[in-house]
A and B are shown apart, each in its own frame.
Chain A
């Protein structure tokens, strides 16, 4: 009998076990996700601040070589400041972009589109969370967070507008599912975001990297300028120039010497209206200009160099020639490309061959923007020419020079934790004060005073004249000659302005968009292609810019496939 009892007990307990397990099934099947937060947790002050940081962080692009705010490829290479460089096969998917024969499924175009919309999406996420703040969020904080987020959204849409023209516009109220066609003009939305930011942001901020009132004002002025609203643009620029201060409270001014805008030790200077904050040694190279890592001299022969890879973004012959000065002024008629004026290069020479750098007069901004043989390359010694060039016949004789770290800054200005040391802490200026002065000059020419325009341009030129590159004896590294415009020489204000923007802002991602908004992209770029094609072997064979098409990149084919042609229409010509 005892045995049977035991069996009964065992049977019974089995039944109990089964029943118990079934009855607590529901809570058993609730498994919490780990290492993540839900939206409710993020409506606190630290939560809102954190999502805002996430929105800022995509200014760096963070993945891929073509996605950051510098637009080195989209603005500078496509604008003729530089060619892709390196050799034919490297990153060959962008070859078709620089020859203006891009396919709609180009992976790099897609990468840029996705990165910009990620920025939009993060700004919108912050704004959505800000609609239902917790009690700990003060009105001032909430207002500032919203204004910064709208500033950032304005920036990301501005980039989308100038690169892709009209794309689907979504704000924080979008449900994420309703189809949004790309038929609305983005400008009113962009203006509204910057206007809100201008009206609501404080003049100074606790962190140097935050957008402030004046950054928003400058960006609003730029948006107005891009739309041809010269009068309103002019008044906004007047206000910014007169009253603008950086987030740290310094009155806007030009830095004393040109190259100080491109050095990490001088980040967030008085000229920096709005900069992308890069940092080295943070534990991840995505904080250290991941999109600029390709743009260093390439190779191992010859003297020690920064980076070591990969030889992209090689300044064009056309750009270099533009720095020729006669009587201290640039050649506005395009004759800088004439045989008599063109800058002597070491194209076709190896580093072992003898070479004497150009002896003529030049604007010193050339030697702050372009690495060329025989001229000191920051503090790395003289550029040796071909030893630092991956494929001279393909990419030309020059190396990029802005946003390069200094030898004395190794380990501080750059991040050595990855496959190449070319990850840097150098901030890129989305807008710097020299740009503001030149935009103001442009607005003055169109809707104000030509002499005020000349004054602005001369401020920029004076700083250039004060910025010679010195060799190791302390002497000028080349024959520099920069003069200011006078009423007598400022006879073609538009040409002077356009040339000044080219010289001052080369390699900073602006040129292509300037050409497009001025309506001179086709003629300028086709001349450029013809000029470079004659000097280089193969990158520009068959290239030509088609007016009415190549002003904008195609909307990525993926988006059209996903949403349908009735929702997303492709840009003309593709």
Chain B
């Protein structure tokens, strides 16, 4: 009956129609808007604007035209007797009117009851980072991004804290295909980004979505577009490496070497007898002219040695002993400067979109080539995307596809795709350790290094980088989906979508044979690795949306099967890798795995993990005033044992648009106000490897082979228990509650969204340590014990308006407060040892009950011992002496022991926020984006390397040691600089290394000019905008290391800085045009 009525109404309006035309422009810059949809209100008929923003539609006088465009406010105009329209759409629709792409459907924000954020496409392109997820930092309240400045680095994204002890990555949905990484995407291809933060919104994605969901849709063409729209966006720029940390100059370093030896002697009560291979044995050190001549070291070199080294110079280990002549660089080598460069970057994107009757297409072509500030470090990404859709039966049956091909070449520092660069001893740390008196090259062009005795063991970082300059890593992949949409009756849509990802990876690396260091390898090495991975997902949904008077109802039913990976389980893959040594020739044209000796071959494979799911959702609202949504999803995962592999997870939410109530009608300043609340449970096994249910034996040449036959040259294969299974592991459950307000105030001048949320994870799955007598090599199974709690407040405020007719402003503030706590581990287990990396004996992190994840742990430093009487008066402490650390006797038992260790801070910020200020004056635009992180600590373990003498005696020393305690100046704040290593000097984790990591950074300033229509017409263009940007202009922080933006591999081990890759300053010039 309803259908009949609608058809009747439709035919009447058709009868009364006449042609109307118009142009739609952007209200800010007057540029034409292509692809705006124009619909006759209450009908399904409509059109879209062409590339010049023009449209033609048949409409009657009573018809109301509805103009809508993603990112712009809707406008409604009654046709009346007008036949030509000039419509200016206001950009940046209020938060409430934005479209949000939630689970398997598109809704308006007004109807949404979950906690959802959207990001404007533009925000993803402002700074030229490598991977798109880096752009989320500070753009969405409640999203934490742990990243660093390396192009191509993988970041850790956390939505609303850390739900579990690992595997808290959000699930990314790209055009409906779930993924755990989106490094293949080109930011320019992204049309919309929606972040589903709470269980209500994310639950429809079920298990795997416990860490929240980020939904990307890529750009589409428009059906019926008259001519194609071609856009070009380009960026060129450069990045500067910034300044090196301050180290002592050569003379100072020699003096401080003497100080270290003298202080040690004085502490021990003996007469110092200083003797150094470079600085001689005098009462004060002398800088040598040469550091090394043949086998003779600095202090002992005679002119004859110099002549001898010159005559017998040889740096080729293959042709005999190494003989070098190395002159001291008394001016000091700036090693940081030596390994860095001003790095160029350029990025170009061409997009072409359009459509015909019953078809649409989008073509995207992207190139990004970006140098890292470290020599030979490059990132390249080439992307090609083609999205199309065709009507097979008009209004009934459509087929479409989204397809992307990506080539990426990355060469970055650190483990985990660069995530680990802050906490491993990488090239930056190496440069910080290299003594400045060592030159980069010897007298005849070879590398100089610590082969000159007395400078310990850092490797010449320039030599290391040069040696790896031919190393290559590239990935070629394709990603996408094909779908069929079918509408048997109005309001009911069936959709089936098959998506997948195929990735191919190849890597080659060369290890040069060293000669210039104190510890040299003894062979030239080559290694190569190759791997493919596949993933697929098949999704079938039925969607029904219908209004009955004031009752609006939406139903969704779906089924999904997939073969993929998770954060701790590989997708289906096969890999092969090999290495070998000492080829006949080291030419890259000659070297391959067949031409090297001592070949070693490795391989691996996995069948991935499978999921099978059913899900449903009912959304109901009454008069757009009272809203309710119920979601239920049943997931089965191959990760879990047969009896426990299925879990059913519910979520519901309610909304009340208070502003629609009669009693609010008198309010003059509230335009719209919605109260939302939700509760839900999401299951999670992301952290659990696919083999968790099995007890397995493995074999490994490194771990279980043995030369039982006594051959001296081979080892027989052995087996060992590699995995202890737990078939009883069941779904971890993350319960979340959310209460929020969405509001629009003061005639739309102020938008706000505020959410109060809490998320409690129970049956927390983690690897409970097993007793050593059971095994120390087998993987312990994940078991369900433990509980984690996260709570917080997310806030977004947008204020905008006109200061005058020419000057407009828009200020966006995103802020989030986060509180994370490990509530419970297992009975009798209060902490998780062995989760933290150890840095030359110092272990900074202990995950403990009652503390946030990755909390720093160690002794609390009360100060430095003033003198012997201070030592005598203090609790007994091993190695105590004047000028050394004085640890607090926490348990008051008069003895400093392990029980006196305590929590020293944690790397999770209490507050993070972003502030964007945008000003438009006529055609000029100024945008500033800044980010702040407050209340986090950093464990600056880099100081262990630079502020203490004995760890690497002879390595470069920070000039902070000038503030060290000494017998002559006991006011110093840094421990006495001495050649002693014990409990009270440098072997224990303590609060000396813990620093406040709060910072404020001006991330981006962009100043642009939008060309007016007059000029554009002359140029034959539809849009032209030029801008200049500066990124990371300044950072305000009290942190002592290179940069407070310390990355790391979350979740139980991050916030430790050993030589962080700094966030670097860059300048870019940008052009954006459309034809």
| B-binding residues in A (CB < 8 A) | 3, 7, 10-11, 14, 17-18, 21-22, 25-26, 28-39, 41-42, 47, 50-57, 59-60, 62, 87-93, 95-96, 99, 101, 103-105, 107, 113-115, 117-118, 120-122, 125, 167-168, 170, 174, 176, 180, 207-210, 264, 267-268, 277-287, 298-304, 308-310, 348, 350-352, 386-387, 391-394, 412-413, 416-421, 425, 427, 537-538, 541-542, 556-559, 561-564
A387 vs B697: C-alpha distance in the bound complex, in angstroms? 48
Asked if A38 contacts B694 (CB within 8 A), the reply is yes
Complex Cα gap A115–B831 (Å): 23
Contacts of A10 in B (CB 8 A): 397, 486, 488, 494
- A113 partner residues in chain B, CB cutoff 8 A: 772
Bound-state CA distance A563–B518 (Å) is 44
Q: Is the CB of A38 within 8 A of B393?
A: no
Name the one of A29, A120, A280 contacting B773, with C-beta atoms under 8 angstroms. A120
> Which of B262-270, B332-340, B911-919 contacts its partner?
B262-270
Which residues in B have some Cβ–Cβ distance to A below 8 Å?
261, 264-265, 267-268, 270, 273, 275, 277, 292, 295-297, 299-300, 321-322, 393, 396-397, 450-453, 457, 486, 488, 494, 496, 517-523, 525, 538, 540, 542, 559, 561, 579, 581-582, 598, 600, 604-612, 614, 636-638, 642, 645, 690-691, 694-699, 701-724, 769-778, 828-831, 833-834, 838, 840-841, 843, 878-879, 897-898, 948-953, 979-983, 986-987
Asked whether, in the complex, the Cβ of B486 is within 8 Å of the Cβ of A33, the reply is no
Q: Could you tell me if A284 and B701 are in contact, using CB atoms closer than 8 angstroms?
A: yes
Q: List A contacts of B829 (CB < 8 A).
A: 561-562
Q: For B275, list chain A residues within 8 Å (CB).
A: 348, 350, 392-393
The chain A residue with its CB closest to the CB of B879 is A542
Q: Which residue of B lies closest to A33 (CB)?
A: B691
* A352 with B713: CB separation less than 8 A: no
Beyond A11-B494, A88-B981, whether A300 also contacts B453 by CB under 8 A is: yes
Q: With A17-B496, A22-B614, A394-B979 given, is the CB distance from A310 to B710 under 8 Å?
A: no
Interface centre among B609, B645, B705 (most CB of A within 10 A): B705
Shortest Cβ distance from B380 into chain A, in angstroms? Answer: 30
- Please, how many angstroms separate the alpha-carbon atoms of A29 and B523 in the complex? 47
Q: How far is the CB of A537 from chain B (nearest CB, A)?
A: 6
Contact A168 B773 (CB under 8 A): yes
Instruction: Determine if B771 and A92 form an interchain contact, defined as CB atoms under 8 angstroms apart.
Output: no
4 interchain residue pairs of minimum CB distance = A53-B718, A89-B950, A54-B718, A208-B710
Contact for B833 among A101, A303, A561, CB less than 8 A: A561
CA gap between A523 and B387 in the complex, in Å: 83
Verify A92–B694 contact, CB threshold 8 A.
Answer: no
CA distance A298 to B519 in the complex (A): 8
* Contact A51 B521, beta carbon cutoff 8 Å: no
Cross-chain contact B518 with A300 (CB below 8 angstroms): yes
Contact residues in A for B451 (Cβ distance below 8 Å): 300-301
Take A51-B719, A53-B719, A301-B453 as given contacts and tell me if A34 and B607 are in contact as well, using a CB distance cutoff of 8 Å.
Answer: yes
| A17 and chain B: residue at smallest CB distance | B540
Q: Which residues of B contact A91 (CB under 8 A)?
A: 841
**Does B950 contact A87, Cβ atoms closer than 8 Å?**
yes
Asked if A57 and B721 sit within 8 Å, CB to CB, the answer is: no
B610 & A29 in contact (Cβ 8 Å cutoff):
yes
Distance in angstroms from A66 CB to nearest chain B CB is: 13
A29 to B607 Cα, complex, angstroms: 11
Task: Kindly list chain A residues whose C-beta atoms are within 8 Å of the C-beta of B614.
Answer: 22
Interface of B, helix, strand, loop or mixed by DSSP: loop
A286 touching B983, Cβ below 8 Å = no
> Once the chains are docked, how many angstroms separate the CA of A60 from the CA of B704?
10
Tell whether, in the assembled complex, residue B559 and residue A21 are in contact, meaning their CB atoms are under 8 Å apart: yes
In the complex, are the beta carbons of A287 and B715 less than 8 A apart? Answer: yes
Residues of B within 8 A of A308 (CB): 518-520
**A564→B827 CA distance, assembly (Å):** 10
Shortest distance from the beta carbon of A168 to any chain B beta carbon, whole Å: 5
B708 touching A207 by the CB < 8 A rule?
Answer: yes
Task: Report the Cα distance A164→B838, complex, angstroms.
Answer: 24
CB of B898, distance to nearest CB on chain A (Å):
6
Q: Are B831 and A286 in contact (CB under 8 A)?
A: no
> Which residues of the other chain, B, contact A563 by a CB distance below 8 angstroms?
771
Given known contacts A121-B776, A421-B522, what 17 new A-B pairs fall within 8 Å (CB)?
Answer: A36-B691, A52-B718, A62-B703, A88-B953, A117-B776, A121-B777, A167-B773, A176-B770, A180-B773, A209-B710, A277-B709, A301-B292, A301-B295, A308-B519, A417-B579, A417-B598, A419-B519
Q: Would B270 and A537 count as touching, CB distance under 8 A? A: yes
Q: Check A25 against B636 for contact (C-beta < 8 Å).
A: yes
- Which one, B273, B699, B706, B952, contacts A287 given CB within 8 A? B706
B718 & A37 in contact (Cβ 8 Å cutoff) = no
The answer to whether A39 and B636 have CB atoms under 8 Å apart is: no
**Which B residues touch A351, using CB under 8 A?**
300
Contacts of B609 in A (CB 8 A): 31
Asked if B519 contacts A11 (CB within 8 A), the reply is no
CB within 8 Å for A121 and B773 given contacts A29-B636, A89-B981, A284-B701: yes
Q: Is the CB of B488 within 8 A of A33?
A: no
Complex A-B: 21 CB contacts under 8 Å? A22-B614, A31-B608, A31-B610, A50-B718, A53-B708, A91-B841, A92-B982, A114-B772, A120-B773, A207-B710, A209-B708, A267-B712, A277-B706, A280-B712, A282-B714, A283-B715, A350-B275, A413-B712, A420-B519, A557-B898, A562-B829
